[in-house]
Amino acid sequence: MVKSFRRLCFALMVLVYGSCWAQTDAQAPEQGVFNLHKFEQLIGKETYTLARTANEVTLKSDFKFTDRGTPVPLTASLTMEKDLTPRDFQIKGKISRFSAIEDSVHGRSAGTITIPPGENFFDIQGYAPVSMQMMLVRYWHSHGSPKILKTLPRGEVQIQDQGVETFTIGSRKIPLHKLSVRGLIWGMESLWMDSQDHLIALVSMDAEMDHFEAVADGYEDGLATFVAGAARDGMANLAKVAEGFTAQTAPVTAIVGGRLIDGTGKPAIENSVVILQNGKITAAGPATSTTVPEGAQVVDAKGKSVLPGLWEMHSHFEQVEWGPIYLATGVTTARDVGNEREFIVAARDAIAAGKGIGPRLVMAGVVDGSGPFSLGVIRVDTPEQARDQVQKYKAAGFQQIKIYSSVKPEILKIITAEAHRMGMTVTGHIPFGMNAIQGIEDGMDQINHVEYITPLMVDPKSKTIDPDAPNVKKVINLLLEHHTVIDDTLALMEVILHPLDHPISGFEPGILKVAPELKEALETMGSPPAKADQSAAMFRAMEETVRLLHQAGVPIVAGTHQAVPGYSLDREIELYVQAGFTPMEAIQAATLVPARAMGMEKDSGTIEVGKRADVILVDGNPLQNISDIRKVSTVFAAGKMYQPAALWSSVGFKP
């Protein structure tokens, strides 16, 4: 591998410039700048210097971006032997708006891990800083390009050489080496290096699991090309995972003997038969009166409950790993509420065409206004831009528009009017300078996150909600009058607001099963222990808001905004029961109510004849113990059968 890479380097050298490993012997410090992006929006910069003396090499990096107004600064230094073997590593700062980090490694040990003498390893932690990833690849290249490379303070990475791609950036044609890296984030990163092993571009995820891109100074024009290249890699991966799951589709399936909880609200049928044929439900009822067609593949559901496939109403399907995760959780339809347009369209189409694996995707296209807190690159600052973007989303098959926080109040009305004219609905954040009442009056049909409602209901002094207070009644009546739908994301708020000195596993055991690199990032989320009381009061008020809205008849739909992938949807459903929903109502908040909210109840949301064959089997009885919703044992998505254990394993989670 090294040999062939060097040979290739030599060939490239003739085409481009310099010699392949020349910088290894140079004594002048190497310096560089990376432009940092989130959802393709430039939000920061990393500068690094790499200094060499006779016996060591030292990298110093200064990384900082500002995400929606919150600075995320990070510094790192790494001292290496001349051959890049790490000696001393220090990292300190933040890796997302909600995550802090401080760590160091000296020599070959960290915590309980010691790398035996002679064995290759590198010091690195997570996706940032980017120059650390560049040094990781240089180390890997110069140490025989091993299949697996151990890392400190923990973990390992897999790096693969994906060959040369030629990019046209400005007027230059530039051949770059593409590499894929696994192990630093959950999922795969795409990196492009030049012939001198300078990192030119990296397309990855940040610690909030959002699209993150870094591009070396001078290559900024290539950003869209790099993003498209990474999306292609992602889809190819999705297709590869899907290949392993294609054999399990029978023309007719009979789910026999289970407790049918059809989601309509009717009592459960203890011994039932459900027939799936050509992707549809063709029969469902008591075993005594429902015929099993001859030749049907029989699935024994004794001791299990049979429920409609779940809906996830606050998805950010930003990497292909979400596909298997959602299916394993029992999610057969996910509404994406904010993504890179090209990426989510490609993912939706791949899944719909059977070339990828995942739930059916319905989509809300995100728009934002310009400002210091903006997200992404789709801006609607004028009425013309607003109408144009709504039309573009409509043309790409989006069902909804998602309002983001920096949309100007005077533009909101124009967006909602245009969306309604195009037959779309509008969900999202309440823009700065407005409250939820104004947002609804200006045409928003739905609201993401309950924290836009709670401040209108809570008593500022006591921090509690009086159900009889006039302001509380006013908000509830307005929501009812407008049939406003709320996806509250309580489970996400619980993760963000829980005190950092309490492990997430105390309320969300699923975190013990997620991929290690993801677990590490999630465990940095939480609120300062000193503010524990304040955070707990805030969370209680949000729970109380959800309880009162539900009690009054406001549609509440389950969504997670990622949080602990998959499991947070289960947690959301558990929290509903904690907030006073009956178990059936909690299940409906993740099935029938979302289907109605999206105008898709004729096709989805319950187990009834004629609907899509989205059915899950769950061990136990969630009507008695709502946490049984975590025990999904089989999933049918449009009639295709999946086993969760294999799905979890395919993305590095424990089954």
Q: Give the Cα-Cα-Cα angle 592, 595, 598 (nearest 5 degrees).
A: 150
Q: Which two tokens stand for residue 218?
A: 């001078």
DSSP 429: P
Chain length of the chain: 655
Q: Cα Rg for the chain, rounded, in angstroms?
A: 26
Q: Minimum distance from CB of 185 to Zn ion (Å)?
A: 18
Q: Which stretch binds Zn ion (CB under 5 A): 123-131, 245-253, 537-545, 560-568?
A: 560-568
Closer residue to Zn ion, CB minimum distance, 123 or 494: 494
Q: Minimum distance from CB of 178 to Zn ion (Å)?
A: 30
Q: Which stretch binds Zn ion (CB under 5 A): 296-304, 424-432, 557-565, 642-650?
A: 557-565
Q: Minimum distance from CB of 557 to Zn ion (Å)?
A: 13
User: 3-class SS at 213?
Assistant: strand
Q: Which stretch binds Zn ion (CB under 5 A): 42-50, 137-145, 520-528, 556-564?
A: 556-564
360 lies in the binding site for Zn ion (CB under 5 A): no
Q: Minimum distance from CB of 315 to Zn ion (Å)?
A: 8
Return phi, psi of residue 8, to 5°. Answer: -65, -40
Q: Which two tokens stand for residue 188?
A: 């795969």
Q: Minimum distance from CB of 338 to Zn ion (Å)?
A: 6
Number of residues that bind Zn ion (CB under 5 A): 1
Closer residue to Zn ion, CB minimum distance, 403 or 500: 403
Closer residue to Zn ion, CB minimum distance, 318 or 418: 318
Cβ-closest position to Zn ion:
561
Closer residue to Zn ion, CB minimum distance, 64 or 561: 561
- Burial of residue 3 (CB within 10 Å: 0-12, 13-18, 19+) is exposed
Q: Minimum distance from CB of 560 to Zn ion (Å)?
A: 9
User: 3-class SS at 629?
Assistant: helix
Give the list of residues 6+ apart from residue 599 with CB closer than 8 angstroms, or none.
425
In 246-399, which ranges are E strands? Answer: 252-260, 269-277, 280-286, 297-300, 304-308, 310-315, 331-336, 360-367
Closer residue to Zn ion, CB minimum distance, 314 or 640: 314
Per-residue binding letters, 594-633, with Zn ion (x by CB under 5 A) = ----------------------------------------
Give the list of residues 6+ apart from residue 652 with CB closer than 8 angstroms, or none.
186, 321, 515, 516
- C-alpha distances (whole Å) from 513 to each of 519, 567, 649 are 8, 10, 10
Q: Minimum distance from CB of 445 to Zn ion (Å)?
A: 17
Per-residue binding letters, 516-555, with Zn ion (x by CB under 5 A) = ----------------------------------------
Give the list of residues 6+ apart from residue 410 with CB closer than 8 angstroms, or none.
none
Q: Minimum distance from CB of 314 to Zn ion (Å)?
A: 6
Closer residue to Zn ion, CB minimum distance, 335 or 387: 335
Q: Minimum distance from CB of 516 to Zn ion (Å)?
A: 24
Closer residue to Zn ion, CB minimum distance, 94 or 561: 561
Q: Which two tokens stand for residue 116?
A: 């035996």
Closer residue to Zn ion, CB minimum distance, 498 or 561: 561
User: 3-class SS at 482?
Assistant: coil
DSSP 171: T
| CA 101 distance to own-chain centroid | 21
Closer residue to Zn ion, CB minimum distance, 312 or 628: 312
Q: Which two tokens stand for residue 601?
A: 């109840």
Closer residue to Zn ion, CB minimum distance, 149 or 347: 347
Identity of the residue numbered 280? K
Q: Minimum distance from CB of 337 to Zn ion (Å)?
A: 6
Q: Minimum distance from CB of 636 to Zn ion (Å)?
A: 28
Give the residue, chosen from 402, 498, 561, 571, that forms a contact with Zn ion under the rule CB under 5 A. Answer: 561
- Whether omega for the bond prior to residue 129 falls within 30 degrees of 0, making it cis, is yes
DSSP 626: G
Closer residue to Zn ion, CB minimum distance, 308 or 559: 559
Q: Minimum distance from CB of 449 to Zn ion (Å)?
A: 7
d(CA 66, CA 240): 36
Could you count the other beta carbons within 10 Å of the beta carbon of residue 2? 13
Query: Which residues in the 110-149 window bind Zn ion by CB under 5 A?
Result: none
Closer residue to Zn ion, CB minimum distance, 364 or 518: 364
Closer residue to Zn ion, CB minimum distance, 387 or 429: 429
Query: DSSP letter string over 267-307?
Result: PPEEEEEEEEETTEEEEEEEGGG-PPPTTPEEEE-TTEEEE
Closer residue to Zn ion, CB minimum distance, 141 or 561: 561
Q: Which two tokens stand for residue 252?
A: 């007719």
Q: Minimum distance from CB of 164 to Zn ion (Å)?
A: 37
Q: Which stretch binds Zn ion (CB under 5 A): 64-72, 81-89, 193-201, 559-567?
A: 559-567
Q: Minimum distance from CB of 208 to Zn ion (Å)?
A: 10
Q: Which two tokens stand for residue 462?
A: 């006591």
Alpha helices in 553-589 (DSSP H): 567-578, 583-588
Q: Which stretch binds Zn ion (CB under 5 A): 201-209, 394-402, 412-420, 561-569?
A: 561-569
Q: Minimum distance from CB of 481 to Zn ion (Å)?
A: 26
* Cα–Cα nearest to 113, from 156, 148, 145: 156
Burial letters 75-110, b for 16+ CB under 10 A, else e = ebbbbbeeebbbbebbbebbbbbbbbbebebeebeb
Give the list of residues 6+ apart from residue 576 with CB closer than 8 angstroms, or none.
490, 546, 550, 556, 558, 585, 586, 589
Closer residue to Zn ion, CB minimum distance, 182 or 561: 561
Q: Which residues bind Zn ion (CB under 5 A)?
A: 561
